[in-house]
Structures are given as C-alpha cells and as structure tokens.
C-alpha cells in the first residue's frame, strides 16, 4: 500500500499501478515552461514497450495548460531542491528502482536523482547545468535573458513571448511548427531555478549539485541537440566530462539539426527511441 505524503492523487495512482504491474517503472521529469503532460507521447511509447510510466508534476503545478495560463503566478518560487525532493518522494514509493528521463531542468534533476543512487538508469536530455559545469555560451545567456535580465524575476513566474520562445526553443523549426508548439505547450515558469543555475559556480552552498562520483549512480546517457540555443553542446559535453569517470557507464550523443524543443516537436520519437534503446540495453 502507498502511504500518502505530499503526492497528488494521480501520482499515488501511478505509483500503485507501477508497483502492482511488476514492470520496470520509467519516471519522466519535465523542465521549465512545460507541464508533465508534455510527456504523453513518450509515455505511450514506453508503455507499449513494456514499462510502467509516471510523469510527476512539480509541486503545485496546475493540471492543464489552460489552468496554468489562467493563474501563472502559481509557478513562482519553485526551487530546484524542492522539486528534486518531490521526485525523490515518488521514487521512494516505488518497489523497483526506476529508469529516470528528464529534459532541460528536468535533465538536471534526473542527474541529481541518479547521484543519490535511487535510479537504475538515467537519460538527461539537454540538461540544465549544475555546479561544476563551467561553460556559459552566448546563446544560453541570450535564451536566459528574459529571466536573468530582471533581478525581480527571482521571485516571479515568467512567461516567454513568442519571439523569445522562437530563439530559445523553436530555432530549428519552421514558423508554423514553432507557433503550434508555443500555443500547445508553453506555460509560465519559476524564475528562481535559472538564477540558481547561473550562480551555482559562484555559490559554495549552491543546491544545484549532482553527486557525480556515487558508484551506485548507474548508467547515464546525455542527449544534446545540435542546434540547441538553451543548452548547447558545450554545456552537455561539460556535464559529460564531470561524470565520465563514474563507475557506471556514461555516454553522450548529439542529435543533428535539433533544438531545445526536441522532446515535443516533430522529431520527438527519434529522441525517445534513443532513450528507450539505452534503457533496454543498460537498465
């Protein structure tokens, strides 16, 4: 029986289903400017492949994009360690060690979860940087400027204009698809995680950290989009370098001609199959 904590009814139901199924769980972690519903197609693919999937929310996230747009302030002040603790709570209720897949700040959190030894195998897609990842490419700074450009945004929820979304997320897409993704998926996001990541290498007490040396980390795959402006190859490669000496297998792959939207755009399936193949082989 699952003990109620601060988990939602949907999360508790998915945990119970996973535990009773006997299947290996796969836990999906979304990042900023998305909701957990952005993983629906991935979940279908992995369920068809024989896994039991969960896509927990960040604490207090609305259920739908429509609800999120009606009350964007609900996203404010969600810090990285609070979200990580929520996902650790989910993992702690599972009877089997899961595979974990995360995108962007969800990729950072996925690596942090792996560093605790709680996941069996991990895939980080375009992961946001943690303490020790040093590169600061100009494209990343430009993509983050809508948040970092105003210090007051640390305590706010921030929505992107389409032009900002186009640069950061949809630069590898045509105009029609970029607009469609913005309309379907984009919601406000907490500003504070971006300030936390930006200051991680300056703050010795930063909680934006990953235990890269834990021998129980398990296999890790980092997936990078060749045209990603938010998390370009230099950041993904630096994260790989921080972790490649872990006793667990560490791999990195670059997907040609793909931007930060690679988990939700027309090419999502190819990225999902990379993750699925890695988990099948090493999970």
Give me the pLDDT at residue 3, please: 37
Over range 236-257, report the average pLDDT.
Answer: 97
Contact 42, 263 (CB under 8 A): yes
Task: Note the pLDDT tens digit of each residue in 136-194.
Answer: 999 999 999 999 999 999 999 999 999 999 999 999 999 999 999 999 999 999 999 99
Question: Rounded to an integer, what distance in angstroms lies between the CA atom of residue 269 and that of residue 50?
Answer: 17
Over range 16-33, report the average pLDDT.
Answer: 98
Per-residue confidence band for 283, with pLDDT thresholds at 50, 70 and 90: confident
Torsion of CA 162, 101, 4, 84, to 10 degrees: -70
Contact 280, 120 (CB under 8 A): no
- Is the pLDDT at 70 greater than 80? The verdict is yes
Distance of CA 221 to the CA centre of its chain: 13
Report how far apart, in Å, the C-alpha atoms of 178 and of each of 140, 164, 246, 249 are: 19, 11, 38, 35
Per-residue confidence band for 2, with pLDDT thresholds at 50, 70 and 90: very low
- Is the pLDDT at 17 greater than 60? The verdict is yes
Question: Rounded to an integer, what distance in angstroms lies between the CA atom of residue 100 and that of residue 108?
Answer: 11
- Is the pLDDT at 242 greater than 80? The verdict is yes
Phi and psi at residue 10, to the nearest 5°: -65, -45
Domain ranges of the chain: 9-282
- Is the pLDDT at 76 greater than 90? The verdict is yes
Over range 48-60, report the average pLDDT.
Answer: 97
Task: Note the pLDDT tens digit of each residue in 203-224.
Answer: 999 999 999 999 999 999 999 9
* 127-151 residues labelled b (16+ CB within 10 A) or e (exposed): bbbbbbbeeebebbeebbebbbeee
Cβ neighbours around 80 below 10 Å, total: 24
Tokens 């993992």 map to which residue? 91
Question: Rounded to an integer, what distance in angstroms lies between the CA atom of residue 245 and that of residue 12?
Answer: 36
- Is the pLDDT at 4 greater than 60? The verdict is no
Contact 255, 225 (CB under 8 A): yes
Question: What one-character-per-residue DSSP string does 204-259 give?
Answer: TT-S----TT-TT---EEEEEETT-SSS-HHHHHHHHHHHTTSSS-EEEEEETT--
Report field, pTM of the whole predicted structure over 0.95: yes
- Is the pLDDT at 5 greater than 60? The verdict is no
Over range 41-49, report the average pLDDT.
Answer: 98
38-46 long-range CB contacts below 8 Å, 24 or more apart? 38/185, 38/263, 38/264, 39/263, 41/268, 41/269, 41/272, 42/101, 42/263, 42/268, 42/272, 42/275, 45/269, 45/272, 45/273, 45/276, 46/272, 46/276
Give me the pLDDT at residue 6, please: 85
Q: Which fold has domain 9-282?
A: Rossmann fold (3.40.50)
Six token digits for residue 242: 């921080």
């Amino acid at each position: 029986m699952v003990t109620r904590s601060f988990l939602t009814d949907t999360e508790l139901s998915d945990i119970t289903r996973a535990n009773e199924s006997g299947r290996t769980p796969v836990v999906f972690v979304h990042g900023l400017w998305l909701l957990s519903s952005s993983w629906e197609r991935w979940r279908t693919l992995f369920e068809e492949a024989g896994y039991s999937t969960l896509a927990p929310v960040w604490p207090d996230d609305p259920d739908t994009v429509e609800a999120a747009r009606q009350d964007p302030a609900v996203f404010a002040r969600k810090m990285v360690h609070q979200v990580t603790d929520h996902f650790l709570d989910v993992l702690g209720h599972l009877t089997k060690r899961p595979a974990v897949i995360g995108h962007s700040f969800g990729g950072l959190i996925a690596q942090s979860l792996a560093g605790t030894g709680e996941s069996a195998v991990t895939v980080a897609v375009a992961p946001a940087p943690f303490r020790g990842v040093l590169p600061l490419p100009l494209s990343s700074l430009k993509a983050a400027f809508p948040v970092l450009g105003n210090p007051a945004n640390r305590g706010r929820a921030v929505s992107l204009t389409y032009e900002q979304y186009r640069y950061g997320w949809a630069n590898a897409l045509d105009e029609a698809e970029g607009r469609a993704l913005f309309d379907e998926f984009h919601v406000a996001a907490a500003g504070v995680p971006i300030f936390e990541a930006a200051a991680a290498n300056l703050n010795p007490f930063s909680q934006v950290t990953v235990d890269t040396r834990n021998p129980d980390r398990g296999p890790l795959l980092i997936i990078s989009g060749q045209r990603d402006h938010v998390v370009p190859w230099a950041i993904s490669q630096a994260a790989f370098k921080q972790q490649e000496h872990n006793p667990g297998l560490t791999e990195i792959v670059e997907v040609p001609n793909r931007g930060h939207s690679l988990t939700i755009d027309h090419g999502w399936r190819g990225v999902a199959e990379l993750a699925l193949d890695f988990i099948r082989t090493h999970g």
